[in-house]
DNA sequence: AGGGTCTACTGCAACTTGCAGTACGGGTGA
DNA sequence: TCACCCGTACTGCAAGTTGCAGTAGACCCT
């Protein structure tokens, strides 16, 4: 049986269409550029190009660099065709895994400090990525984009990230203020404040300050 | 070897702490309430409670309902202890999988229509969830929360979701307007408009209208 | 009586991750 | 100079997770 093309396979194939890469470069480049849209492990990123070779969507050859050998992968015509077909298929629904929110949902098993700690951790994780993308944009202004003709795509993508990160950071600040008013994490139930919030949300209004 | 407790195991254990559930109820309840924080497959949600029994964190017994048997799971004292310890551990970093954004990053392999189609699909997926949460909040106002004493947690969690959904929907609208100005998806590179955006982002300002 | 839907799961192959392990080359400090 | 650490460049494997197919009883409608 021929292996199946997954979304991850197409992601790697799309990178190969930009230029040939070694397995090592591919794993690092994919983790840098795709992390916020399609996060995948280094391990998988080493396996995907081999599958593409099996399917005839890429070729591989060994190259010498400083006495060491490494595998270089190049896209084939069939690979380009496959990419073109992929763009016409149905997109998978988004999927957000945020453990800090799971901690919030079950915060009544722990203390206020545990909950605030989980929010701090979320803030730090988001903050790192936020800072990285701002710096990346500054580097683009100096002509630092590795594929200059693709800058319009990277930048539109970056607006999504900045918008997301700012939005999450605003919510964290909001949540901290709410939690500061709580005496405990347990059994508060429908307090007057919670009722106000619920009423707003039921009218599709966000109580988070922009 | 005893099986390992994953974040998913703790999520199920936290549900079991609310009340005993049957496997079937657990899978459906978890998919409803945890979908936006910790999305897991029905299949896994059937397996987790068995693991909890193996570890001594839950007990199981068969019950009769309409002639059919079903497995009812109940948390143990050891299970409650384990939950308490979990709240003090490090939270995993968030992980966002959004295939529509992958399509955007590699939109130069397809047409403007393909890209706009991917955004439409994202908008529809988000829209469904958005509407569902607004309706859920309306039902809470009528006293519809299954565990009323936990309403404050559910509602604070819901503010996150509403904020996220609105934010993504605003960005989609923004992205559509940008793409409408494009003649093609390919090789536009650093246009004057893209440079304006890049400059804003490099100053950590979002060009998306609130 | 047959068909469809809901309840209530299990088995299995395939996808994905984390971690350990292998191995080479270059720079740095004692 | 040589031990050690870091970066390059991967592979193997166990364990976590998903999707799909399959099983089977109960209930309802036509």
pLDDT tens digit sequence for A165-185: 999 999 999 999 999 999 988
pLDDT per residue as tens digits for the range A181-210 = 999 888 788 999 999 999 999 999 999 987
User: Which residues in chain B (43-82) have CB-CB distances under 8 A to chain A?
Assistant: none
CA of A93 to C1' of D18 (A): 15
Six-digit token pair at B204?
């950590």
- Beta-carbon contacts of B168 under 8 Å, excluding residues fewer than 6 positions away, are A164, B122, B126
Residue B5 sits at the chain A interface (C-beta within 8 Å): no
- pLDDT for position A25: 94
B66 pLDDT band, cuts 50/70/90, is low
Footprint of strand C on the protein (CB under 7 A): A 1, 3-4, 6-9, 39-41, 43-44, 47, 66-68; B 22-25, 43, 46, 50, 65-66, 68, 70-71
Residue B1 has pLDDT above 60, yes or no: no
Residue B157 pLDDT greater than 70, yes or no: yes
CATH annotation of A7-86? 1.10.10.10
Mean pLDDT for the stretch of residues B79-88: 95
A37 within 8 A of A66, measured Cβ to Cβ: no
Q: Which residue is nearest to nucleotide D10 (CA to C1')?
A: A24
Interval B160-183 mean pLDDT:
97
Cα–Cα distance, A207 to A202 (Å, whole number): 11
Residue A157 contacts B, CB cutoff 8 Å: yes
How much is the mean pLDDT over chain B? 94
Q: Which of B84, B153, B201 sits opposite A107 (nearest CB)?
A: B153
Which residues numbered 14-43 in B keep a CB inside 8 Å of some CB on A? 14, 17, 33-34, 36-39
Q: Average pLDDT in the B192-197 region?
A: 96
Cα–Cα distance, A192 to B103 (Å, whole number): 44
Q: What is the pLDDT of residues A144-157, one digit of tens each?
A: 899 999 999 999 99
Residue A143: pLDDT band with limits 50, 70, 90: confident
Whether the Cβ atoms of residue A49 and residue A23 lie closer than 8 Å to each other:
yes
Residue B8, pLDDT above cutoff 70: yes
SS3 letters for chain B?
Answer: CCCCCCHHHHHHHHHHHHCCEEHHHHHHHHHHHHCCCCCCCHHHHHHHHHHHHHCCCEEEEEEEECCEEEEEEEECHHHHHHHHHHCCCCCCCCEEECHHHHHHHCHHHCCHHHHHHHHHHHHHHHHHHHHHHHHHHHHHHCCCCCCHHHHHHHHHHHHHHHHHHHHHHHHHHHHHHHHHCCCCCCCCCCCHHHHHHHHHHHCCCCCCCC
Closest residue (CA) to C1' of nucleotide C11 is: B43
Q: Do B170 and A163 touch (CB under 8 A)?
A: yes
Closest-CA residue in chain A for B14?
A106
Buried residues in B167-200 as b, exposed as e (16+ CB within 10 A) = bbebbbebbeebbeebeebbebebeeebbebbeb
Q: Is B7 on the interface with A (CB under 8 A)?
A: yes
Q: Best of A31, A79, A92, A106 to disrupt the B interface by mutation (most B CBs within 10 Å)?
A: A106
User: What are the residue boundaries of the structural domains of chain B, listed by start?
Assistant: 7-86, 99-202
| Inter-chain CB pairs, A–B, below 8 Å | 310
Q: Count of alpha carbons within 13 Å of B28, Cβ hemisphere only?
A: 5
For residues B54 and B2, the answer to whether their CB atoms sit within 8 Å is: yes
**Is the CB of B69 less than 7 A from some atom of nucleic acid strand D?**
no
Which of left, alpha, beta for A143 (phi over 0: left; psi -120 to 50: alpha)? left
Q: Span B133-146, mean pLDDT?
A: 92
At residue B151, the pLDDT reads: 96
pLDDT digits (tens, 9 = 90+) for A1-10: 568 999 999 9
Q: Which nucleotide is nearest to B47 if distance is taken from CA to C1'?
A: C10
- A64 falls in which pLDDT band (50, 70, 90)? confident
pLDDT category at B141 given cuts 50, 70, 90 is very high
Q: Which of residues 125-144 of A touch B (CB under 8 A)?
A: 125-126, 130, 133-134, 137-138, 140-141
Nearest chain B residue to A79, by CA:
B109
Please give the pLDDT value at position B192: 96
């Amino acid at each position: 049986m021929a292996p199946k093309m997954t979304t991850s396979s197409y992601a790697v194939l799309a990178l190969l269409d930009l230029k040939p890469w070694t397995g090592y470069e591919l794993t690092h480049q994919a983790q840098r550029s795709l992390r916020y849209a399609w996060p995948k492990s280094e391990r998988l990123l080493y396996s995907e190009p081999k599958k593409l070779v099996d399917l005839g969507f890429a070729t591989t050859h060994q190259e010498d660099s400083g006495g060491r050998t490494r595998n270089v992968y190049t896209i084939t015509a069939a690979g380009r065709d496959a990419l073109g077909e992929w763009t016409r298929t149905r997109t998978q629904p988004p999927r957000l895994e945020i453990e800090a929110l799971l901690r919030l949902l079950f915060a009544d098993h722990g203390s206020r400090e545990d909950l605030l700690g989980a929010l701090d951790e979320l803030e730090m994780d988001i903050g790192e990525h936020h800072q990285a993308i701002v710096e990346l944009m500054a580097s683009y202004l100096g002509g630092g984009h590795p594929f200059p003709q693709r800058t319009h795509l990277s930048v539109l993508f970056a607006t999504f990230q900045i918008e997301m990160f700012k939005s999450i950071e605003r919510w964290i600040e909001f949540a901290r203020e709410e939690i500061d008013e709580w005496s405990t994490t347990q059994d508060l139930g429908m307090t007057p404040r919670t009722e106000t919030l619920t009423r707003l949300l039921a009218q599709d209004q966000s109580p988070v300050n922009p």
